[in-house]
Structure 1
């Protein structure tokens, strides 16, 4: 509660500072009136007036553009309403500028009264629009017929143009050469000031709901609008210093409103997107770390399982069959564990570089069988690409079985031997894996389908079951196994 009071006091101080800053030029003119007061000649004043009004028109059209064309993304009804209101303000400010005394006649003779009548209409329209906008929420919403929002400002603009241009006698006189500003003009300015004060108060009550950052620029703008109307209520001619100051106030107020609209429609949505992206990035980072930890723990768990099996096998030192089974289980565990290790160490959490995997798996097979008398050489021709780990694990299990069979049985009496592994993706959209050795091979009449070898059965089952592939064996000398399987049997999951 204390913090809320502190923030409220700070807002009051900021608004008070804005009032003081806006009143300072008027105070200076009043104190040093004889030194700073002037009435400009028509030609230089017209240049200033056209520049000031052109700037106001450009800013008004910019507010309309931002509010109108960002609505599809921002869904900000408040900004859309202000944007369409500023379309009408821009059109009527243009009429005021073109109807100014000294400018070429706008269809009918220009005069101070004509331009001032345009001024009063557009200022009334602006003040009422500002007050109305205070009650339109910023929350996302959707106007089913957004085009209808243009109807009122365009209708008011057309009405002002027709009445002031052709039926000016139906409107009260706002300026006469004899008396200058009429009572109606001065009273109108004070009524506009009253409406702007109401708008400022209404926006003040928006702060608790929509925040100071979304509201402060409008409040500051209304402060300068109030002082703009105040000096326009007291100037003596349309070319004096008060008139100049009033236009400067107007420029400042329009720029502040543009700033508020820009923040609501562009800065805030993009900031939310950036915040969301940052949260997503952090969340993805946390998930990646979690997945890496899972891979790491899976790898460790597999190693522990292999060690436990080996320890259990040591209880049967006189059983070579148990040792053989244990070593084969360890080879298979290593084929799976290597996948998890590569996933943990890589940036891609779903794919494994197949070339690196097969190379490390082959090296492990050779190192695990260093006691064999045959000197083996493994040549690989592997396409350098990544494969989903759902494919790599079956490939690893297949190669582990084939490598073990070659090392154990293909070279019983040879002093050296060669093993070749080829892997590539064919033009048919299928992967091709070819394994061969130059060992004794298999008997010509060997039936791979009905054999009792667990390793061969495992290779066939994995190739056809998990990879949905086709497998072919070559009998006779020089063993060879060819497997081809589709490249789209698994989808990326991480």
Structure 2
């Protein structure tokens, strides 16, 4: 509660500071009036006036552009409403600038009264628009057909142009060369100040719902708008210091409104996107760590299972068949475990390098070769690419069986032997795996389909069922197995 009060106090301190900064130049002019007051000559003042009004017009059109073109994405009704209002403000400010005394005639003779009539109308329009905008919510897509809104500023601008240009005598006089500002002009400025004050108060009540950061620039802008109208209510000629100060206030207020609109329609959405991206990145990192931990634990679990099987096999020390079965199970476990180790250590959580995997599997097979009388060499020619672990595990189980068969049976009574493994992707969008050795091979009449070898049955079953591939064996000397399978049988899931 204390924090909320302190935060609210800071708001009012900021508002008070803005009031002080806006009032300070007026106070200085009043206190040092004889020293600082001046009336400019027409040409220099016109340069300043055109620059100031051009800036206001550009900012007005920029606010319209931001509100209009971001609405489809942001659905920010408040910004769209202000943008549409500033379209009318920009058009009428242009009329005010072109109708100023000293400028080339805008269809009819220019005069201080003509430009001031444009000024009063556009300031009334702006003040009423600002007050109405306080009641327009943000981000709810209030306006289904935004094109219809354009009729209001265009209609008001057109009527203003026709009325002031051709029927100026029917409108109240705002400036007279004999008396300067008329009573109507001064009263109008104070009415405009009253409306702007109501807008400022109304925006104060937007803070609890939409936040201080989304409201402060409008509040500051209305403070400077009030100050601008105040000095325009007391100037003597259209070329004096009050007129200059009023236009400076106007520039500041328009810039603050543009900043508020830009923050609401551009900065805030992008900031929300960045915040969402950061949250998603953190969430993704947590999930990646979780998946890595799963791979790590799966690897540990496989090792524990292998160790338990070895311990169980020790109960049958004199049974070579049990020993053989246990070692084969160990080889199969290691072929799966190696995949999990590579996934855990790599950046990609769904794919591993097939070259790195086959190299690791080959080294494991050589290290566990108990046929010490035969020196084996494994030659690999592997296309370096990433494969999904759904593919790699079946490939590993196939190679594990083939390597075991070669090591156990292919090289009896010889001092050395060679094993070759080739893997590549063909132009037919299929992977090709070729395994061969220069051992004794298989009998010419050997029927691989009806054989009783568990290893050969596993190789055929895995190749055809898990890889949806085609398998071919070569009989006779120098065993060879060729497998080709599609490259798109599994989809990335992590």
| Paired residues of 2:116 and 2:175 also in contact (CA < 8 A) | yes
**1:471-482 map, 5 Å:** 471-482=471-482
Which 10-residue stretch deviates more, 162-171 or 323-332?
A: 162-171
CA–CA distance in structure 2, aligned partners of residues 305 and 369 of structure 1: 22
- Residue by residue over 1:348-370, the C-alpha shift from the partner in whole angstroms, topping out at 9 and shown as x without a partner, is 10001000100110010010114
Distance 1:142 1:480, change over 3 A: farther
Checking the alignment, whether the CA contact within 8 Å between 2:123 and 2:192 is kept in structure 1 is: yes
SS in 2 for 1:213: coil
Mapped to 1, the partners of 2:68 and 2:181 lie a distance apart of: 37
Q: Show the 5 A alignment for 1:287-298.
A: 287-298=287-298
Distance in 2, matches of 1:21 and 1:386, equals 65
What's the secondary structure of 2:102's corresponding residue? coil
Partner of 2:269: 269
Counterpart Cα distance in 1 of 2:383 and 2:12: 71
Distance in 1 (CA, whole Å) between partners of 2:218 and 2:147 is 25
SS of residue paired to 1:471: strand
Distance 1:423 1:53, change over 3 A: same
Report the alpha carbon displacement of residue 371 of structure 1 after superposing the two structures with TM: 4.3
Question: Are 1:336 and 2:325 matched, yes or no?
Answer: no
Shift of 1:460: 0.2
| Structure 2 CA distance for aligned equivalents of residues 143 and 124 of structure 1 | 24
> 1:231: Cα distance to partner?
0.4
The structural deviation recorded for 1:143 is 2.5
- Provide Cα deviations, 1:363-404, integer angstroms capped at 9, x if missing partner: 100101144311000100000101000000000000000000
Q: 2:149: which partner in 1?
A: 149
Shift of 1:139: 2.6
What corresponds to 1:397 in structure 2?
397
The 3-state SS of whatever aligns with 2:280 is helix
Whole-angstrom CA distance in 1 between matches of 2:86 and 2:120:
15
- Structure 2 counterpart SS, 1:373: coil
Partner of 1:280: 280
**Mapped partners of 1:261, 1:286: distance in 2:** 37
Partners of 2:120 and 2:188 within 8 A in 1: yes
Structure 1 gap ranges (5+): none
Residue 95 of structure 1: aligned partner: 95
Distance 1:140 1:359 in 2: 60
Q: How does 1:47-62 map to 2 (within 5 A)?
A: 47-62=47-62
Listed as ranges, the matches of 1:30-179 within 5 Å are 30-141=30-141, 143-179=143-179
The equivalent residue for 2:209 is 209
Listed one character per residue, the Cα deviations across residues 95-128 of structure 1 (whole Å, up to 9, x for unaligned) are 0000000000000000000000000000000000
Paired position in structure 2 for 1:435? 435
Secondary structure in 1 aligned to 2:285?
A: helix
1:327-362 deviations in Å (ceiling 9; x for gaps): 000000000000000000000100010001001100
User: Superposition pairs for residues 321-332 of structure 1, below 5 Å?
Assistant: 321-332=321-332
> In 2, Cα distance between the equivalents of 1:126 and 1:370?
93
Q: In the TM superposition, what is the alpha-carbon distance from 1:2 to its structure 2 partner?
A: 2.0
Give, in whole Å, the separation in 1 of the partners of 2:142 and 2:176.
Answer: 48
User: Distance in 1 between the 2:141 and 2:58 partners?
Assistant: 28
Cα distance in 2, alignment partners of residues 295 and 121 from structure 1: 73
Measured in 2, the distance between the counterparts of 1:123 and 1:353 equals 70
Confirm or deny: 8 A CA contact 2:371 2:408 kept in the other structure: no
For 1:11 and 1:465, locate their aligned partners in 2 and report how far apart those are by CA, in whole Å: 71
The offset of 1:37, in angstroms, is 0.4
Equivalents in 1 of 2:111, 2:436: separation in Å? 102
Q: Is the CA contact (8 Å cut-off) linking 2:371 and 2:407 kept in structure 1? A: no
Counting matched residue pairs gives: 494
The equivalences for 1:310-321 within 5 A come to 310-321=310-321
TM-score (ref. length: structure 1): 0.99
Q: Secondary structure at the match of 2:378?
A: strand
Structure 1 residue 146 displacement after superposition? 1.1
Instruction: Point out the more displaced range, 59-68 or 323-332.
Output: 59-68
Q: Take 2:403 and 2:143, find their aligned partners in 1: how far apart are those partners?
A: 70
SS of structure 1 residue aligned to 2:323:
helix
CA deviation string 1:46-92 (max 9, x = no partner): 11111110111111111111111111221111001001100100000
SS of the equivalent of 1:380 reads strand
Determine the structure 1 residue equivalent to 2:455.
Answer: 455
Give structure 1 regions of 4+ aligned residues with deviation exceeding 4 angstroms: none
- Unpaired segments ≥5 residues, structure 2: none
Determine the C-alpha separation between the residues in 2 that align with 1:35 and 1:293.
79
Local SS of the residue matching 2:473? strand
**Is 1:383 matched up with 2:383?**
yes
The answer on whether the counterparts of 2:422 and 2:435 sit within 8 Å (CA) in structure 1 is yes
Shift of 1:23: 0.4
Residue of structure 2 equivalent to 1:21: 21
* Secondary structure of the corresponding residue to residue 213 of structure 2: helix
Q: Does 2:459 match 1:492?
A: no
Secondary structure at 2:89 match in 1: helix
CA distance in 1, matches of 2:135, 2:259: 20
